[in-house]
């Protein structure tokens, strides 16, 4: 769970919302997804389990939401182009 949480946090921080650019954090580990994931995993390992569980729910849902939205758009376009008669 720690590894998945760290990866999702890094994707959320660096790739999805680009907080490193918005907050002018253009140095490692904040501008590097793998570096940020590694340091986040270490921090989550040292923190209590409840913090890891809260972060897991927050960042996994934050990463899966755009994927789900794109999947729904694809399904909607696919079925709206078909003629079901």
pLDDT of 79 higher than 90: no
Per-residue pLDDT of 45-72, as tens digits, reads: 999 999 999 999 999 999 999 999 999 9
At residue 85 the predicted structure's pLDDT band, cuts being 50, 70 and 90, is: low
Give the pLDDT score at 9. Answer: 92
Q: Is 24 left (phi over 0), alpha (psi -120 to 50) or beta?
A: left
How many CA atoms are closer than 13 Å to the CA of 27, on its beta-carbon side? 0
Domain that holds residue 53: 2-81
Task: Please count the structural domains in the chain.
Answer: 1
Give the global pTM: 0.76
- Name which of 62, 4, 43, 22 is nearest 31 in CA terms: 22
Per-residue pLDDT of 12-48, as tens digits, reads: 999 988 998 999 988 888 888 999 999 999 999 999 9
């Amino acid at each position: 769970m720690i590894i998945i949480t760290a990866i999702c946090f890094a994707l959320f921080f660096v790739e999805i919302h680009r907080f490193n650019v918005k907050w002018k954090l253009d140095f490692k580990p904040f501008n590097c997804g793998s570096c940020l994931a590694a340091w986040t995993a270490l921090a989550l390992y040292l923190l209590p389990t409840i913090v890891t569980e809260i972060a897991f729910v927050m960042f996994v849902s934050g990463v899966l939401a755009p994927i789900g939205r794109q999947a729904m758009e694809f399904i909607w376009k696919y079925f709206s182009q078909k003629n079901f008669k």
